[in-house]
Amino acid sequence: MLSPFPIFQSSPSRQDIYPRTGGYQSNMAGPVPVASSLSDIYTIDALGTQAKRWNSLLTRFQTIYGQPAEFVARSPGRVNIIGEHIDYSLYPVLPMAITADSLLAVSTNVASSNAKEGHYKIKIANVQDAKFPTHEFDIPYDAVDIDATVHEWTNYFKSGLRGALELLRKKHGADFKPKSMQILMDGTVPAGGGLSSSAAFVSSSALAVMVANGEKTVDKTELTELAIVSERAVGVNSGGMDQSASVFSERGSALFVSFTPSLKARAVSFPKTNPELTFLIAQSFVTADKFVTGPIHYNLRVVECSLAAAYLNAVLNPPGTPLPSDASPLSVSLHGFHETFFALQEHSAGATSSKSTESQLEELVALTEKTLDKKDGYTREEIAAVLNISVDELDKQFTSRFPVRAEKFKLRQRALHVFSEALRVLKFMSLLEQQPANTDDTSEYNAQLGGLLNQTQDSCRDVYECSCNEIDELCASARRAGSYGSRLTGAGWGGCSVHLVPADKVKAVKEAWEREYYSKLDLTDEQKEAAVVVSKPGSGSAVYLVEDRGPVVVDDRIGDGLRMAGR
């Protein structure tokens, strides 16, 4: 297990938090970095383990394919600090990348005679070959076929491939011919663990395809946008938080991701606190498979949020007002309703000053409580009548993309969670912008940050209904042992939890979990080792060119980082 690491930096001034544009750090757009050493990618304490892992990946590649890899594409998993289940309603979120990641070692040196006429060849293997068997595909130049009804690990690669090829065709013309690739994958983000293994895999796959096909630089925004759309091809109506965190993150900072008017990410650091604060991530070991449970969990929530947007629009905006078509999975979102509602309100009042987003969200919470008063949910017929469309039309617009199973849609609860969670993200950000009043003892400030995380958990459990007993137990146990704030992170219904813990209580919290939770499960040594990690904000996607630099070598003086030996 890792030792406690204070994620809160010693950069106390507001200037340090948002140095460049008088309030916020500038957008972090630009190309995906090409790493020249592992110390460009990982924090110092991770270097020893990572160097061994990279070396074994490259050695195994050579053994499997009889030739060295040309490059490695890397994208990490993430933990979300605050802003749960609101990215697909297009409200900003605050995740950070973690050390665990997806690595794809690649070579394009495949004889063309190997592939069928009019096709290119993809050979893909995994270091965990017993769990993820090797596959070979002959793929026609013009289309990548993905069978989303089959749960197959290579679908994630194929969806990154498909998205990257769409972009390459836009750039180089419709008759662009993709290269054959030989790939060996090593992923350390636990699948179904709430840390976004799928986004790490899809983003690294898309990045690998771009580089394999000769792109010298890969734009981070383009990569993120294509990874978001690609992941939807695997059967999940996903939002954009995970892919943004995976691609854009910078070591040492969390990431504020906003989705409108266009995708933007900026690094956010934290004021120095006393006691120092640490984020702990704890696995529940309840596997939440979004793909399998989508029709009653994740995809249903996406549908409910879009239906809530359409319903509120029909009732609260003038008759016939269209909702703007946007980048959300079903093209209409609560954020779109929010913007339309206040734009019309200001227009009709001839307003000279607009309300703050915080007060707008407070007003929306109150309006939702009044307007969507059916606590047990709304039937298709009831919603269709208000939208003035047939039930068939409703199904076509909202439930045909991904199947959902529900008699009633809980529009009230879903809208209330989304508006109140969007408000909590703003409150969290505004706390980060402030200096704690008393820097000798910031307990009260720490408790305010933690309080917002606790409110998120309450809302996820009671209103959005995406927690589970095991996560609730982990949160309660952590709070009793001294956590300021504890909540599920990611989609929920199992997976992981995140906890804001004073550094001097980390031991007590871990002991409490062991006593009250983990000791009651039948865990393997490997699971015990992975159960709790102290999370540091890690860096985002990167490419490492093996050809230029040769295999990874651990320097004796690990403190100097790692060097890459020339061949």
Q: Which residues bind ligand NG1 (CB under 6 A)?
A: 80, 84-85, 87-88, 194, 196, 198-199, 231, 236, 238-239, 241-242, 290, 490-491
To ligand NG1, the closest distance from the beta carbon of 126 in angstroms equals: 20
Q: What is the CA radius of gyration of the chain?
A: 24
- Nearer to ligand NG1 by C-beta: 239 or 377? 239
Closer by beta carbon to ligand NG1, 481 or else 496: 496
Tell me how far, at minimum, the Cβ of 270 lies from ligand NG1, in Å.
Answer: 21
Task: Report in angstroms how near the CB of residue 90 gets to ligand NG1 at its nearest.
Answer: 11
DSSP 320: T
Dist CA 293 CA 523 (whole Å) = 24
Task: Tell me how far, at minimum, the Cβ of 425 lies from ligand NG1, in Å.
Answer: 11
- CB closer to ligand NG1 out of 125 and 195: 195
- Among candidate residues 235, 231, 222, the one with its CA nearest the CA of residue 294: 235
Minimum distance of ligand NG1 from residue 76's CB (angstroms): 12
Residue spans of alpha helices (H) in 11-114: 14-17, 47-65
Residue 218 token pair: 């890969």
CB of 233 to ligand NG1, least distance (A): 12
Residue 230 or 360 having the CB closest to ligand NG1: 230
Residue 442 vs residues 272, 431, 448: alpha-carbon distances, Å? 9, 12, 10
292's enclosing H/E stretch is helix 290-293
**Chain residue whose CB lies nearest ligand NG1:** 490
List % helix, strand, coil for the chain (3-state, nearest 5): 45, 15, 40
* Closest separation in Å from C-beta 293 to ligand NG1: 11
Is beta strand 181-187 parallel, antiparallel or unpaired with respect to 94-107?
Answer: antiparallel
DSSP letters along 445-510, please? HHHHHHHHHHHHHHHHHHTS----HHHHHHHHHHHHTT-SEEEEESS-SSSEEEEEEEGGGHHHHH
Pick between residue 108 and residue 293 the one whose CB is nearest to ligand NG1: 293
- The answer to whether the beta carbons of residues 261 and 112 sit under 8 Å apart is no
Q: Which residues of 340-377 are buried (b: 16+ CB within 10 A; e: fewer)?
A: bbbeebeeeeeeeeeeeeeebbebbbebbeebbeeeeb
Integer Cα distance of 276 and 6 in angstroms: 6
- Pairwise CA distance, residues 165 & 354, whole Å: 43
Note the maximum CA span of the chain.
72
End-to-end CA distance of the chain: 35
Closest CB 490 distance from ligand NG1, rounded Å: 2
Is residue 217 a contact partner of residue 31, using CB atoms and an 8 Å limit?
yes
Residues classed as catalytic: 242
The CA distance from 307 to 415, in Å, is 10
Taking the least distance from each CB to ligand NG1, the nearer of 181 and 206 is 206
Nearer to ligand NG1, 92 or 377 (CB): 92
HEC string for 189-220: CCCCCCCCHHHHHHHHHHHHHHHHCCCCCCEH
Closest distance of CB 410 from ligand NG1, Å: 17
Q: Which residue has the tokens 């001839």?
A: 350
**Nearest CA-CA partner of 490 in 301, 212, 222:** 301
Complex with ligand NG1: residue 446 or 467, whichever CB lies closer: 467
Q: Which of residues 164 and 546 has its CB atom nearest to ligand NG1 in the complex?
A: 164
Cis peptide bond prior to 436, omega within 30° of 0: no
CB of 437 to ligand NG1, least distance (A): 31
* Structure-token match 């550094």, residue found: 503
Residue 181 or 416 with smaller CB distance to ligand NG1:
416
